[in-house]
Structure formats: structure tokens, C-alpha cells
Structure 1
Amino acid sequence: MKYIKLGKTDETVSTISLGTWAFGGPGTVGKNIPVGWANQSKDDSINVLRKAFDAGINHWDTADVYGDGISEKIIGEVWKDISRSSIFLATKVGWDMGEYEHFYHPKLIKKNIDRSFKNLNTDYIDLLYLHHCNFKEEKHFFDAIKIIDGYQKNGKIRFLGISDWDCIKIMKYIDKYNFDVVQPYRNVMDSDYKSSGLKQYISLNNLGVCFFSPIKHGLLTGKYLTPPTFQKGDHRLKIKDFFDQKILNCMLENKKELVRKFSYHPNPVLHGLIGPLLEDSPTGCVLLGQRNTKQVGVAKTLGDALSKEDSDWVKNLYRMNHLK
């Protein structure tokens, strides 16, 4: 396993880190908006955590909304087998406003952070993210920061990060506080990380960066030959590309190209999709969902950055083929 320094946190984390969104199973928020993953068993999730630890994957990422706390609770069960201090543990707050008038109401934030400590069975959290940048009003941003600052002063939260699907939204708030880590959406089809200015900001300020959804929930791997059927509560129901046969055909052709290009690697498709994200981000890691021990075994082979030439080739392949 490869490791990097996560920016100014000075923490050493695996370049392939563990995303545990799927551990929460299917779920909805608000007006039955799907936010989870179907067909995930607790036993598989527990086994993944143990296998990931054995593989040297020492950075685990979760959130309070994943299964309404289920993902956090599963992680909280493994400390009897795995030393808590051996894992750099991240969670998030702010996704579900519940009965409050906005996502970052101080009472809601405090309640959910306290619940995360209980769920995770820990007295400290290494990294807490603001899960998104929909603050409605700037005042709500600073109200949330004030609550979290209290936990940091007491040593219960070590580092603070900010996340969003939209890099431009992150840029709107990133310089309003001394954040340690950023978690943006990024894959080889996306160019916003650079064009938004976020890449340069991270470099200039030595921030850690953790990329989420690096394979677009599996879509980019070319594994779907026909539009799949997802169960109620699975967030992939919202992603139109899964149900566009033309796009699925493009992904299959791209897969074949990656297999040819990176035939020297035991997992050429994932190597080709993840390597470009690490090529230009020396303080960065990739959050890769791993739903069973077989996928952990695959993850263990990844983490090497591609050359700039090969990275550009992969990005051009996906961006051009997707437009045809």
C-alpha cells in the first residue's frame, strides 16, 4: 500500500482509503430522496473493515447520514479487534436537515456530532467534514464552525474539512476558515477540480484532499452492459447515465481501451481510472468504496499514480468518447 502526508495535518494515510457509504444500506431523506446503497450486508461490511486494516488501508471515511448512522455503528463495533489509534477516522455532518429549517442549525449539528461519537464508539474523531456547502446564509456557515470549534478546543475533533459535489461551491467557503482537508467529487471525466481553482488553492495552502466517487459509483468501469435495476433507497436511481444505453456502451469501449493500455497491471481498469487522480495531487488520496473482501483485495493493488502522459490519455479517452 502506498501512503501520503495528508497536507498540513501531517498525518500519513493510504492513497487508497476506504469509503463506507455503502455500509449504511439503502436510505432516503426529505421527500423520499434516495441516498443509500442497496444489497449490503453487515457481515460483509465488518469483514471489509478487518481486511482493509490487514491490507494497510488506514483511512476510513463515513458520515452520519449513511444509513442514518448504520455505517458509523458498524465501524464502532470493530475496535475490539482493531486499535482505534491505528485508523485515521473521518465522518461528516450536515446532510439531512430533519425537522430544522436549514442543514446547519446549531442544535442539529451538536446533536448529530454527539450521536456520531456514540455510533463510532470513540471519544475523538480525527477529521470532521461539513458534508456540503448549502449553507443558505453565510451566518449558518459560521454558526456551524462555532459549534465544531468547541469540540476542537476540547480535543474531541482533531481536524476540520469541507466537502461538496461542486468544486465552485467549495471555493466560495474554503478561505472563510482555516480548513485542513477538502473532499471534492472527482473522476477522470470531471475537469472542475482544476478549472474552479480548487486544485491550485490546495497546492498553495498545503491542504489534504480526499477525492470521492472516483469511479462514479461503478459506472466508469464499464461493468454495466444494460441499464441496471436498483432497489428503493439506492442513490444511483438519481443518476441518469446508468439508464442511458449509449453511455453504457461508451463505458464498455473505454474499459476495453484501459485493459489494452494497462495490461501490465492486475487490475488495469481501476488502475487507469484512479492513477490520474493521484498524478497531480501529492497530498491527496482516493476514497474507494469496498463492499466485500474481494474488492479490498483489488484495492490493495492500487494507489500508484500514472505518468502525466498516461493520465492525460485516460482523461481524453473518457471525455471525448462520452461526447460522441
Structure 2
Amino acid sequence: MQQRPLGRTGRDVSAIGLGTWQLGADWGAVSEEDATAVLAASADQGVTLFDTADVYGDGRSESIIGHFLAGRPDHGITVATKMGRRLAQEPENYSPENFRAWTDRSRRNLGVETLDLVQLHCPPSAVIEADETYDALDALVADGTIAAYGVSVETTAQALAAIARPNVTNVQIIFNPFRLKPLDEVLPAASAAGVAIFARVPLASGLLSGKYTASTTFAENDHRTYNRQGEAFDRGETFSGVDFSIGVDAANELAAALPDGVALPAATLAWIASQRGVTSVIPGARNVRQAVSNADAAALLDGGFDVDAFDRVVREVYDRDLREAIHPQW
């Protein structure tokens, strides 16, 4: 597994990480035993980045990770958590007092004195642009509450605003073959600034697994059922904002362009990880099979897969079927 610098922290993280939203909530039920097995399988495959948040299962994801890592004292894993969605997404709620309360809660959940990396969890643009935001975060670094901080964003404009801040370690943004806008400015700006990029929703909520049909359904408590039009949170977090039926057809076309023996999810993760400026891709996994498959995609980065040929098909499909609807929004 390739290991890459995490901004200016002096840490390295794996090119393929693990997103753990699904271990908390909103993807159907995942038992604690299965969640722990996913963490173990990922770590055993060389994954050294776990991404979580304080609201994933109201702290369940953080707590499961903390318990797992306590049993592996020499784990070498960086835990990137997020904060800011425990209250309404209003600028006045992003106060030093709330930052303190949220990070203290995450420290307890994870069982650590200092959090490796804390990311603001898709806050309003006004928060990302405010000097006071970074003053409060710098204070948490200064007193040892957190080691580093970053910002998870919805839009490219928000990403660019965060990248411009001198102490931002990373920006987390949706980037996949159905969401190409970050290629225009975000990845070049991050690379130039030494800011790490975490590519989230890399498989477009499973659309890029290539396993769905137009008739596929999901559990009632799965955001792929209840958030297709942005009813609960930003629409772009579900299927990357792509209409489900259009996404199914686009995924099938991408899969048909791949050589025998290369699956669409692996090709997608390798394609994302190969883009200059991307530090780590953070797919989720609900079971061990998915965790191992995600990590194995890193092998394609070492040869045997024509990334350039796949890139041409990705851009052709995006430009023809998706750009008009997706590019202007995020």
C-alpha cells in the first residue's frame, strides 16, 4: 500500500483509506462485530487512515474505532474525525466553546489525549472564510487538544477558501468519475499549497460499484433512500448528486470499457488515487469483503492498469451525460 505525506504534519497515510460513516449510521444496520472486522481487515491490508465524525451514529463510529485501536497500541493509524454537525449549521454555532466541547467528546470516544486530525464537517461558507474559525482551531493545536486540522467541504469554492489558510492540513471533498470539477482548480491549488486532499464518496454511494440496476432499492434508514433530493442534508452526499438511473447507465458504460479482470470499483479508486494532488481516497465498507476489495485497488497503482485509457472514458461519459447537471452545482 502506498503511503503519502499528510500535508505538513510529518505523518504518512495510505493512498486508500477507510471512511467509517457506515459503521455509525445511515447505511443500514452494521453490527459492532462486523464494524470491528472491517477495521481489522483494513488495517491488515495496510490502510493507515480512518476517517470518522462525531455524528456518525452519535459517536458510535468513533467509539468503535477507539476500542479497536486500544487493542493495537502500535497501530500506526491516523484517525481523522470531524466536528460541527451536532448543532444547526449556523455560523454562530461554530464558537471556541463548542469547538472545545465537541473535541473533548471525540477525545473521550476515541480514548486519546490528542486528536490526530479534526476536520470541520461541511460548515457554511461564512465559517470557512472567517478568521475567527482558524484562531479557535489554532488554539486547540497550541494546547494539545488536536494535532492538526482541516476542512470537509461541499463546493470547490469552499475548498479553495480553506486551502488558502496557512495552517490547514487537508481538505476533504467529493471527487469521483461523476464529480470532476475538483480537477479544474482544487487539486492544483492543494498540490501547490502542500495541502492534503481526501477524496470522499469515491464510489458515488455505491453507484460506481457497477452492481446496481434501475430497480435496486435500499433500506428505509439508508440515506440512499431518504436523501436523493437532499431532504436530510446536501444532495451531493448521496450518489454524488447524480440522478440514480442516469448514474446506473453511466456506471455500466464505464465498466464495459475496462479490461477483463479489472472491476469498476477498483478501477475507480485507482483512478482517483492516481490524480496529482490526491493524498488518500476514503471509500466506506460494510463488510470484510468490501474492505479487502477497496484496499486491493491500491495494487493497480503499481502497474497493470491503463489509467490513461480509463481517464479518457471517464471524461467522455462525464462531459456527455453529467457535466451539465453536476458541474455548476458544486
Coarse TM-score class (shorter-chain normalised): 0.7 to 0.9
Which residue number in structure 2 is paired with residue 33 of structure 1?
Answer: none
- Cα deviation digits, residues 169-206 of structure 1 (max 9, x gap): 222343244211111111112222023x2112111112
- Judged with a 3 Å threshold, the aligned counterparts in structure 2 of structure 1 residues 316 and 271 are, in CA distance, closer, same or farther, namely farther
Check if 1:71 corresponds to 2:61.
yes
Q: Unmatched 5+ residue regions in structure 2?
A: 230-237, 325-330
Which residue number in structure 2 is paired with residue 30 of structure 1?
Answer: none
Residue 319 of structure 1: how far off its partner (Å): 4.4
- Cα deviation digits, residues 36-92 of structure 1 (max 9, x gap): 222222111111111111111111110111111111111111133212651111101
- 1:222-261 counterparts in 2 under 5 A? 222-225=210-213, 226-232=215-221, 234=223, 236-240=225-229, 246-247=245-246, 249-251=248-250, 253-254=252-253, 256-258=255-257, 261=258
Check if 1:207 corresponds to 2:206.
no
1: CA distance, partners of 2:245 / 2:278: 36
Which residue number in structure 2 is paired with residue 19 of structure 1?
Answer: 19
2: CA distance, partners of 1:244 / 1:22: 22
- Judged with a 3 Å threshold, the aligned counterparts in structure 2 of structure 1 residues 138 and 73 are, in CA distance, closer, same or farther, namely closer
Q: More displaced, 54-63 or 234-243?
A: 234-243
Q: More displaced, 91-100 or 151-160?
A: 91-100
1: CA distance, partners of 2:104 / 2:36: 23
RMSD: 2.7
Residue 248 of structure 1: how far off its partner (Å): 5.1
- Judged with a 3 Å threshold, the aligned counterparts in structure 2 of structure 1 residues 103 and 198 are, in CA distance, closer, same or farther, namely farther
Check if 1:275 corresponds to 2:270.
yes
Which residue number in structure 1 is paired with residue 307 of structure 2?
Answer: 307
Check if 1:46 corresponds to 2:39.
no
2: CA distance, partners of 1:104 / 1:110: 10
120, 135, 158: which one pairs with 1:169? 158
Residue 122 of structure 1: how far off its partner (Å): 1.1
Q: How many residue pairs align between the two structures?
A: 308
How high is the TM-score relative to the length of structure 2? Answer: 0.83
1: CA distance, partners of 2:124 / 2:228: 20
259, 262, 276: which one pairs with 1:262? 259
- Judged with a 3 Å threshold, the aligned counterparts in structure 2 of structure 1 residues 173 and 263 are, in CA distance, closer, same or farther, namely same
| Percent identity between the two aligned chains | 25
2: CA distance, partners of 1:181 / 1:164: 11
174, 182, 186: which one pairs with 1:198? 186
Which residue number in structure 1 is paired with residue 2 of structure 2?
Answer: 2
124, 147, 154: which one pairs with 1:158? 147
Q: Unmatched 5+ residue regions in structure 1?
A: 26-35
Which residue number in structure 2 is paired with residue 86 of structure 1?
Answer: 76
Secondary structure of 1:204 counterpart: helix
1: CA distance, partners of 2:209 / 2:309: 21
Whether contact under 8 Å (2:188, 2:277) holds in the other structure is no
Letter in 2 for 1:55: Q
Check if 1:285 corresponds to 2:285.
no
2: CA distance, partners of 1:313 / 1:220: 14
78, 96, 108: which one pairs with 2:98? 108
Letter in 2 for 1:285: S
Residue 5 of structure 1: how far off its partner (Å): 2.1
How high is the TM-score relative to the length of structure 1? Answer: 0.85
Residue 101 of structure 1: how far off its partner (Å): 7.0
Secondary structure of 2:246 counterpart: helix
Whether contact under 8 Å (1:97, 1:104) holds in the other structure is no
Secondary structure of 1:7 counterpart: coil
1: CA distance, partners of 2:199 / 2:89: 30
1: CA distance, partners of 2:127 / 2:252: 45
2: CA distance, partners of 1:151 / 1:85: 24
